[in-house]
Amino acid sequence: MNAYRTATAYNFLALVKNRLALTLLAVLVPLWITIAKTVATPDSTAFRLRATGQVLHAGGDEITMISGSLNAVSLLVGFWMFSAARRTSDFDRRLTAAGYPRRALLAAELTTLLATAAMVSAYAVAWMLLYWTPRQTGLLIFAVLSAALIYGAMGLFLALFLSSEVAGMVAIIMTSIIDLAPQNPVAATTADSLLITLLPSYGSLQTALQAGFTHHLTVAPLANSLAWLCALSAIALAAFVRRTRIHNVGQQPRERPHRARL
């Protein structure tokens, strides 16, 4: 337990030292939500919620605010976890080589991901509540949290293959745009296409729209989010285990020859 607490504290310290991520949290999330609410048209827009088949009517500003908040949270948590994973990777290898329990490091990674995603999601929803009152606030928090977890796991995944923070940020930004832009029922005509069900944030956005504008509870879309989360997390954790594996050389130290007694 002490090993787990120490590893978790070290991971959180790596997060806190990332000043760019802290600045983005303080500025990007409220700015994105505010712009989405004030710039997008408040006119009512009719769209079909694919998860339930319902035709809903909602203000374009509210729909854009939901999509924008998911985008901001995804970018921030993905970049934050990517950066933290890169900064601690060498130290993790040294720890396991010195005999530090690998289970404690894995548990600390998962705890950091969950805590970071929950904190950023709560912050984003709190800003949305300043402008708008959804029908199901709890479900909205859960929807935003699922997107944050997916992109946090994606950040851990990308940290295995990309060598710089710039490359990681660009990859996460482009993935988020490709993921969420076609799903926005206000800005895209492809929001009802079958292909969007394969995108990482499909379950999150469908659940968020459901929470914002209906009293129904359909958790089926989140199966998509769960599949993406499990796949990315499994790959990232398996690679972590492989990277921190201790290889025995198999060579025995030579014994000094005994001197013959005279």
209-228 per-position pLDDT tens digit: 999 999 988 888 888 889 99
Cβ atoms 73, 121 nearer than 8 A: yes
**Is 80 exceeded by the pLDDT of residue 190?**
no
State residue 187's pLDDT score. 67
CB hemisphere CA count around 126 (13 angstroms): 9
Cα–Cα–Cα angle for 31, 63, 53, nearest 5°?
155
State residue 36's pLDDT score. 86
Supply the DSSP string of 130-158, one letter for each residue: HH---S-HHHHHHHHHHHHHHHHHHHHHH
**Is 50 exceeded by the pLDDT of residue 259?**
no
**What are the pLDDT digits (tens) for 66-119?**
999 999 999 999 999 999 888 887 777 888 877 888 888 888 889 999 999 999
For the chain, give me the number of helices (H) and strands (E)? 8, 2
**Is 70 exceeded by the pLDDT of residue 206?**
yes
**Is 70 exceeded by the pLDDT of residue 254?**
no
Residue 253 pLDDT grade (very low, low, confident, very high; cuts 50, 70, 90)? very low
Other Cβ atoms less than 10 A from the Cβ of 253: the count is: 5
State residue 145's pLDDT score. 96
Share above pLDDT 70 across residues of the chain, in percent, rounded to a whole number:
91
Cβ atoms 145, 68 nearer than 8 A: no
Mean per-residue pLDDT for 12-19? 88
State residue 244's pLDDT score. 75
Return the sign of the alpha-carbon dihedral for residues 185, 148, 129, 13.
Answer: negative
According to DSSP, the residues that pair with 46 across neighbouring strands are 57
**What are the pLDDT digits (tens) for 135-173?**
999 999 999 999 999 999 999 989 888 878 889 999 999
Supply the DSSP symbol for 215: S
Query: For residue 163, what are the contacts with CB-CB under 8 A and spacing of at least 6?
Result: none
Residue 247 pLDDT grade (very low, low, confident, very high; cuts 50, 70, 90)? very low
Instruction: Identify the weakest region by mean pLDDT among 32-41, 60-69, 90-99, 251-260.
Output: 251-260
Q: In whole numbers, what is the pLDDT of the chain averaged over residues?
A: 85
